Structure 1
């Protein structure tokens, strides 16, 4: 009996001690809890010296890349990051958003920079979800993917807090990470979720509710939203239990049922894909418990609102943004906005006179989007890219190049590379800007010396540069004709437009005249646009070739502006699906010149002519490795073909004579790491002026 009493009171004492200890730990944890940012209604607030002040997030997305590198390679130096941070602050930005764990050098540079300034840069940390698995058709809610994501959540939080583990980084031999959690605003869960990923998850899984320590679902929540709430709970528990810190949370939003709400509220005709009604990722369906003292915010890509503009509505952009802002009870940020610069910008140039967008125009169009956002009560906005990204492709060029070699050369035909306000050029020794001076050709030897003058060629990491130094002055009516022998598998010697015969078959002919034609033409059989327009039919009926290989026909060059023309077999191509891309623009392409036009392709005076030609316009898949598009009519798809240089044939057409020189072969050394220099684009200064006004 005494033993039982002893055991009872001993157990009771232990229980009281444990309970008291837990209560003490909870009180201590609550007392020591770190909250640097929170929200009040639609507003972000930040703590400074124990005082809370409102803050509007004005930032940019940042990917750890530069020419020659992919995300995942720790190649950007600490000094480069610091220089970028200085330029960001000078621009008027206060926040950086990253989509995944960054190299240790990024966090080291952020701390180094912030320690040296009075106004630090804050950041939003993305927690990456396996996009490869999603592209392979797997469902986000699959248990093995959820388990892998729990691991990624913990590894990312550890990285932010400077507690790098073996599993927390994909960057081998990286610089040790540092604790930058004091600058952390919050976490964005996952990636830009695909509509199909969300919709299929909601159709297959049944559990649409979740109740956790920090998050719960509410309203008409979906299984996908329950999954997001659960993963947020994993993150909040881990960060608080290990680091006593609480942060803000969000995920990439999809309008889903919000489409209906907005349409109903404006009595606009419902007119969207049935599947979209199941593609809901709405932060209004995820609530927070009393244990979370920070909050949540909604996040949308500006491009996500384009669905309204493509559905026969009369809603202007600012009205759409206003409706979205008013719908939410929490702060809303535009996770990515901005317009690219480039030689062919597809749908971004729908209302522009040509398919190109200059850096000047990029700044003007991006400023319009910024003003629409700030005038409609959003909590912040992020530029789509800080720097131009050579590794990227666009929907209309992805099959025309080799993704594993894309970072090694610049493609102005790919608009996805041009969103940045910071650009990259070939190093100063290799720059050959078409302008009024030919001093930058001083170290080059003539590619061809002839009775009519000297002809120079330089294969850069961004363009194929040509310069003509004629003996006889170029008049406004002089037509310079250049034939390009790219592929050994096709081409023709006769160019009917100028009644010119080359000594060897050529695949492209460029004609430049100050008062006449300024355009590139392609041999019809090697015209990628014509092939892609009917590729799916050709795979079914290979006998339906639109052109003969030996046909002496050269055609204008076009590119697609509507993705449905490529993705839908029964789509009937019309004039709204494509635009001219072979036209060349005359102008000054030297950024130091007051007349600078980044969209310019060529320039001439009476004494010389200079032109820069995008490799993609010559059907290169990778000039770094001299890989071009093969015979797509033979293979029924676009595949690479290795070549040993290209042939160039120069010609000149004047009123009194026509001269065409024999084809000369051009070869160049393959490269792996491009040499480059960094510069601020014209759009940088335009946005800086705008931010300073606000």
Structure 2
């Protein structure tokens, strides 16, 4: 059916609601309105009475704030309005949401666009699949799964067009939706990342099952049973939207793990087990069209490092660039079809979870490094002719978990009440959600900001040690802060400052770092400040989370018997695994366990107004003042909001936590030249750690946080500004 006329699409709100400015669209002879469509390998926008290419410069938007979980949907209309303005400032033209948000999201978007000069801020509506049931049952054809997904589709379409009231349900958005955001929709994004074992089993169980052809979308002859099921869901979205006389481009969520390409260099069989192929679904009566979308990160799966078939393409700097090579292969497979990368990016976090080519790791980046990598990935996606690139993610999300820290976060249901900077998944945002003292205390060697803290916000430790004049402590949702005044200017070239940390009975009562001294109570962790490479936090060997998990339980590393003993005298580097041991039959070839030192402490400044600002700063010394901030987990905490630390008890498969009475600090200095220990008295004396004061605090149920643009915001702003929204080709 031909497209004949240009119309103005009014939002059609109830009389009590505002009328937004007219949204230019094209109307077919049967009254269907189009604003976006697919054409060849591009997405097009109807603008200035003609169709022209459109590149989605996008931003994924999460559904949570610190202290909350996604299903609580705590954002207000004011939050959304503020964020939309910031996104527009950054150069974003499309927001992607994963699921139905509360009514205020759609109200805020319409209101923002009503007031905005120039092109509106568009959005992509995600439709959440019954992810947990799919993973558990591993059969997409089960009636309860299909029914739940169809209901979610109907709710999502009703929410976008402001024609539904969704009843309250735990973990879901609800309320009365009356804002018609449909004219600002770019497209529908159906489903979530697909579990390959679920896809494989669904295909096996339903090889002979036939599904009726859809009205607008259906599987091709090559479609697998799962792809036919997926075509049914996409068709339902189209059918539901047709009721409102609109059509928007359709896609479904996909990721590298279930892409249609072969990856001979992928070591893990499950990561190349099965495909979900967008070319096996076709539009039969949908003029807005259909496109492919993928989540593509540069560090996962492992073939980005190991697959030699991707090591043939070089970056502009002449380095092997497997991400660019993958983009080229993926684009080439989807001939005459738009492809969009709907998730990409790296986090600005202390912790790391995977290693990537060209240093594009999953974590371990400062905010500046995050911005530089994200900008490079954006440029590569655009250069390879993709239809859009949607960065993950707008705001930091404290509740997130990741594979290499989740077993250490206990209780699991309190992750949202503190920010574990070792969990990279929490820190992908370009809008930082910093712990509460971010704007009060800067780690820069200047103690004047400590004087401004309220008396109840800090504690002076009554420690009488030679070389140490005074010590102060405080904390927030992310760090323990320590300020030490020495009786001389600290000189790391000539001396090393140690702070022993005691939170539980046990640990090391002697150690090489203590010289000949013995303690009456053991140290669980040890902070060492000296030269850049040696500054860090180490952990008592029998307390060491890493060796207990990957040595005792998984037997992926050898742990000497001496290190397993209480009071071993050994402090290990604080490690995070970044790659598990892989061996046949689960993998094609053997790969040993990989780990990084997560306990390294960076010297610098955490003052964001300082040109030398480094978001990974842990300590600084100027004159006799030494300041530091230490992430909670490096000191053994599994949940500081409820005073939980990792227990030494190690029976069974799971770790256990205990309630601490507080933190004791034991400071001492070792002179490099003489090796003499200053501050602990005669070598033969037993140091009474048990008599030292404890730093204590009350459990918390409410969080304080600081919202601020990261350094990566400005870097991405510049990169987005260099890309025209109508420039989609190389």
TM-score bucket of the superposed structures, by smaller chain: 0.7 to 0.9
Deviation digits for residues 450-504 of structure 1, max 9, x if unmatched? Answer: 463110111211101101122333233232211111223x212212224143342
Q: Is 1:325 the counterpart of 2:339 in the alignment?
A: no
Cα deviation per residue 1:506-533 (whole Å; 9 max; x = unaligned)?
Answer: 1011111247841222111100110111
Q: What is the distance in 2 between the residues matched to 1:566 and 1:559? A: 20
Structure 2: distance between partners of 1:244 and 1:460: 52
Alignment map for 1:289-688 (pairs within 5 Å): 289=284, 291-303=285-297, 307-313=303-309, 314-315=311-312, 316-328=322-334, 329-348=336-355, 352=359, 356-402=364-410, 403-427=412-436, 431-442=440-451, 443=453, 444-448=458-462, 450=464, 452-476=468-492, 477-488=494-505, 490-499=506-515, 500-514=517-531, 517-536=534-553, 547-564=564-581, 577-654=594-671, 658-660=678-680, 662=689, 663-688=692-717
Please give the secondary structure, in 2, of the residue aligned with 1:497: helix
Instruction: Note the C-alpha offset of 1:399.
Output: 1.1
TM-score by length of 1: 0.88
Q: Is the 8 A contact 1:209 1:217 kept in 2?
A: no
Q: How does 1:172-187 map to 2 (within 5 A)?
A: 176-187=177-188
Deviations, residues 535-576 of structure 1 (Å, cap 9, x unaligned):
43579x999896112433222221101044699999999776
Q: CA deviation at 1:420?
A: 0.9
Could you say which residue in structure 2 is the equivalent of 1:60? 59
SS class of match (1:531) = helix
Q: Note if 1:284 corresponds to 2:284.
A: no
Are the structure 2 counterparts of residues 62 and 190 from structure 1 closer, same or farther at C-alpha, using a change threshold of 3 Å? same
SS in 2 for 1:509: strand
Q: What does residue 19 of structure 1 align with?
A: none
Runs of at least 5 residues in structure 2 that lack an aligned partner in the other structure: 1-26, 313-321, 681-686, 724-730
Q: 1:226 to 1:516 in 2, by over 3 A?
A: closer
Once the two structures are TM-superposed, the CA of residue 114 in structure 1 deviates from its matched residue by 1.1
Q: Does 1:35 align with 2:34?
A: yes
Structure 1 partner of 2:193: 192
Structure 1 Cα separation of the partners of residues 581 and 214 of structure 2? 42
Query: Could you tell me how far 1:31 is from its partner in structure 2?
Result: 3.1
Alignment of 1:201-216 (within 5 A): 201-206=202-207, 207=209, 211-216=213-218
Deviation at 1:217, TM superposition (A): 1.5
TM-score by length of 2: 0.83
Which piece of structure 1 moves more, 466-475 or 186-195?
466-475
Q: 1:122 to 1:615 in 2, by over 3 A?
A: same
Q: Determine the structure 1 residue equivalent to 2:726.
A: none
Please say which of residues 468-477 and 374-383 is displaced more in the overlay. 468-477
- Farther off after superposition, 443-452 or 626-635: 443-452
Cα distance 1:138–1:632, how it changes in 2: closer, same or farther (>3 A)? farther
Aligned counterpart, 2:253: 252
1:610-631: CA deviations, max 9, x gaps? 1111111122111111112223
Contact 1:545 1:633 in 2 (8 A): no
Cα separation, 2, equivalents of 1:224 and 1:549 = 54
Residues 1:450 and 1:273: Cα distance change in structure 2 (over 3 Å): closer
The 1:141–1:279 alpha-carbon spacing in structure 2 relative to 1, beyond 3 Å, is farther
CA distance in 1, matches of 2:292, 2:532: 54
- SS in structure 1 of the partner of residue 519 of structure 2: strand
Alpha-carbon separation, structure 2, partners of 1:515 and 1:205: 59
Query: Is residue 2:234 matched to residue 1:223?
Result: no
Higher helix share: 1
Q: CA deviation at 1:53?
A: 2.8
3-state SS, counterpart of residue 89 of structure 1:
helix
Counterparts of 2:134 and 2:74, CA distance in 1: 27
Contact 2:441 2:450 (C-alpha < 8 Å) held by counterparts: yes
Aligned pair in 2 of structure 1 residues 275, 171: CA closer, same or farther (>3 Å)?
closer
Structure 1 residues 430 and 460, CA gap change in structure 2 (3 angstroms): farther
Q: Secondary structure at the match of 1:441?
A: helix
Mapped contact 1:199–1:275 kept (Cα < 8 A): no
Alignment coverage as a number of residue pairs: 657
Aligned-partner SS, 1:279: coil
Query: After superposition, what is the alpha-carbon deviation per residue over 1:601-649, rounded to whole angstroms, capped at 9, x for unaligned?
Result: 1111122001111111122111111112223523442122222222222
Q: Report Cα offsets for 1:315-347 as digits up to 9, x if no partner.
A: 432122112112212111001001111112232
CA distance in 2, matches of 1:566, 1:256: 19
Distance 1:276 1:348 in 2: 16
In 2, the alpha carbon distance for the partners of 1:621 and 1:132 equals 26
Which secondary structure does the structure 2 equivalent of 1:347 belong to? Answer: coil
Distance 1:657 1:271, change over 3 A: closer
Q: Classify 1:275/1:621 alpha carbon distance in 2 versus 1 (closer, same or farther; 3 Å).
A: closer
1:210/1:217 contact within 8 Å kept:
no
Mark the structure with the bigger radius of gyration.
1
- In structure 1, stretches of 5+ residues that fail to align are 1-27, 264-268
Paired with 1:550 and 1:657, the residues of 2 have a C-alpha distance of 20
Cα distance per residue 1:181-213 (max 9 Å; x no partner) = 111112111111121221221122123765211
The verdict on how the C-alpha distance between 1:80 and 1:155 changes in structure 2, with shifts beyond 3 A counting, is same
TM-aligned CA distance change 1:582 to 1:542, over 3 Å: closer
Alpha carbons of 1:673 and 1:72: their partners in 2 closer, same or farther (altered >3 Å)? same
Q: 1:130 to 1:515 in 2, by over 3 A?
A: closer
Equivalent residue for 1:233? Answer: 235
Distance 1:544 1:306 in 2: 33
1:455–1:644: structure 2 CA closer, same or farther, 3 Å change rule?
same
Contact 2:581 2:592 in 1 (8 A): no
Kindly indicate whether the alpha-carbon contact (under 8 Å) linking 1:105 and 1:174 is maintained by their aligned counterparts in 2.
Answer: no
**Shift of residue 233, structure 1, vs aligned partner:** 1.6
Q: Does the 8 Å CA contact 1:394/1:415 hold for their aligned counterparts?
A: yes
Deviation readout 1:137-159 (Å, 9 max, x if unpaired): 44222222001111111011111
Larger mean CA deviation between 449-458 and 103-112 belongs to 449-458
- Residue 132 of structure 2: aligned partner: 132
Match of 1:90 in 2: 89
